[in-house]
Amino acid sequence: MLPTRAVLLVRISDDKAQDAKGVARQEEDGRHLADRLGWTIAEVVIENDTSAYKRRTIKLPDGSTGLRTVRPGFRSVLDKLASGERDGLLAYDLDRTARDPRDLEDLIDVVESRRPRIPVESVSGSLRLANDADITMARVMVAIANKSSRDTARRVARKHEELAKEGKWNGGGFRGYGFSTDGHQVVPAEAAILVEIGSRILGEWDGWTPEQRAKITEETGESLHSIAEDLERRGVASATGAPWSARSVGSVIGKSSVAGLRSYKGEVVGKAVWDPIIPEDRWRRICERLAMRAGTTDLTLQRWLNGSLHCSRCEHPLEGAFGNGGPRYWCAPKGGGCGKIAVKASFIEDEVERQVLELLGTPRVLEQLRHAADTEVTGDARKELAEDEEQLKQLAKMWASKELGFAEYREARSIIEARVKESRALLVSRAPRVLRSLLAGDVQSGWIGLTPADKREVLLALLPSGYRVLPHDRSHGNKFNPARLVPLD
């Protein structure tokens, strides 16, 4: 029987132009193949600018960490094939589908979980899993593709190291402020701004008015925030076109290339072949001044939604960060995220605050919370939660050791997770201390006086699992769309 709800998976590793032409061509060829085979495409899953080889450190189902490819689109395809929501898979080529043996094995598990097997086809003919011979060939080809990726990564890394030691530009990445993309030549107008920034940090700039100069000493210099505001007021463009911020000002002046030095993996390895914009001795003085200021940074919690926002692509928690546009929440790759979801902190914090106050202003909810705040949690609820969490760990180990198939694991996990969610909601709903004090008075005025840490406590009591943050829909322009926030409870 021909698939009537097939999924078409298209992927490209690197889309520097950000025009998605590569995946568009794959989709067109995939639809032509579907027409020839008589399949009906019900959904197209696009993995644009997504590597099937690069791995990141992520948290595994059993609570441990490991290196895995981060491909939310591919994982959604596996889930839909396993559940029966989709009944066939089309792709352009085997290496567009998997370049990591683990990913292929997960796909094989899903395909073999159904009888007859879930049909899989590709435009190039390299991906078929209809029988044992097809599966063996796919395993061999993925192993070869994985070795090819490893060989390429090793050669590229060695070449970059060699270029760094020779002081040459590697020709990749984003354009550094002060330098062109064509041969890493100095851009005079931007070089002048870098010299100005350095002088202002050292308290030696001659462009201040007498009133401004009176407020600045050579021991402290001018703050990065003040410099960023002035650059914005004057209409000075950054390398990316994004607004200047204290972070971006510190970033452009702190790069070793500004001093005519070449770095590799964050360490200076020698002189660069280009001339310095700022003399090395002076640049090091600027870096020392910035390091001294960093010691006075307020490390108390500022981003109170940390731990409550989750990426809709990979389910990784969003972290408070500071980007070119100011404070934001980001699915940071360094922490194991996909790097695809980000949102300005002020926008999303204002919206969550509005929802919290609206919820706390509802009489029925207030009555339930006040009752919960006065109720003692039973030991049985805590015991049941601990047992379910332990069972989840055991289930993950059984799946990892192949004692369970993917479909069995997924079904069992969904049942246990439902119980865990109910238990956690029961425990947290008993209301922490801060929520009790908030409920005891005027909620609106009480909320304003809460610290970021206390605000987070209240939110976790009301919505233990937090929110899923959807991608930005550019049809809405730059304005934040509250629909991006999807409650998980």
Q: Name 261's Cβ contacts closer than 8 Å, sequence gap at least 6.
A: 268, 270, 271, 272, 276, 280
Most distant pair of Cα atoms in the chain: their distance: 83
Domains of the chain: 6-151 (3.40.50.1390), 188-294 (3.90.1750.20), 346-471+480-487 (no CATH)
235 contacts 243 by C-beta, under 8 angstroms: no
| Residue that has been written with the tokens 């790097």 in this structure | 339
Q: CA end-to-end span of the chain, whole Å? A: 39
Q: At what angle do helices 452-462 and 345-360 cross, to 10 degrees?
A: 60
Residue 388: per-residue pLDDT: 76
Residue 381: per-residue pLDDT: 56
Task: Let me know the angle formed at the C-alpha of 401 by 399 and 407, rounded to the nearest 5 degrees.
Answer: 25
Q: What is the pTM of this model?
A: 0.45
286 contacts 279 by C-beta, under 8 angstroms: no
Angstrom distance (rounded) from CA 301 to CA 252? 26
Residue 285: per-residue pLDDT: 86
According to the 3-state scheme, what is the secondary structure of the chain? CCCCCEEEEEEECCCCCCCCHHHHHHHHHHHHHHHHHCCCEEEEEEEECCCCCCEEEEECCCCCEEEEECCHHHHHHHHHHHHCCCCCEEECCHHHHCCCHHHHHHHHHHHHCCCCCCCEEECCCCCCCCCHHHHHHHHHHHHHHHHHHHHHHHHHHHHHHHHHHCCCCCCCCCCCCCECCCCCCECHHHHHHHHHHHHHHHCCCCCCCHHHHHCCCCCCCCCHHHHHHHHHHHCCCCCCCCCCCHHHHHHHHHCHHHHCEEEECCEEEEECCCCCCCCHHHHHHHHHHHHHHHCCCCCCCCCCCCCCEEECCCCCECEEEEECCEEEEECCHHHCCCCCCEEEHHHHHHHHHHHHHHHHCCHHHHHHHHHHHCCCCCHHHHHHHHHHHHHHHHHHHHHHCCCCCHHHHHHHHHHHHHHHHHHHHHHHCCCCHHHHHHHHCCHHHHHHCCCHHHHHHHHHHHCCCCEEECCCCHHHCCCCCHHHEEECC
Cis status of the peptide bond prior to 116, with omega within 30 of 0: yes
102 contacts 68 by C-beta, under 8 angstroms: yes
Task: Compute the residue count for the chain.
Answer: 489
Angstrom distance (rounded) from CA 239 to CA 477? 22
Residues facing residue 327 across a β-bridge? 322
Quick one: 394 exposed, middle or buried, by C-beta within 10 A (0-12, 13-18, 19+)?
exposed
| Residue that has been written with the tokens 């310095």 in this structure | 276
Predicted confidence pLDDT, tens digits, the chain (489 residues): 799 999 999 988 654 444 445 678 889 999 999 999 999 999 999 887 788 878 887 777 666 777 888 888 899 999 999 999 999 999 999 988 998 999 999 999 999 998 899 999 999 989 999 999 999 999 999 999 888 888 777 776 676 566 555 656 666 556 788 888 776 788 899 999 999 999 999 888 988 888 888 777 766 788 888 899 999 999 999 988 888 988 889 889 988 888 888 776 656 667 877 888 999 889 888 887 887 665 444 434 567 888 889 999 888 888 887 665 668 888 887 767 888 888 888 889 999 998 888 887 777 666 666 555 554 444 555 567 677 777 877 877 777 677 777 677 777 777 887 776 665 554 444 445 566 666 667 777 788 777 787 788 778 777 878 899 998 877 766 678 888 999 886
Residue 469 φ then ψ, to 5°? -105, 120
69 contacts 54 by C-beta, under 8 angstroms: yes
Residues facing residue 12 across a β-bridge? 48
Closest by CA to 478, choosing from 350, 347, 310, is 347
Residue 368: per-residue pLDDT: 60
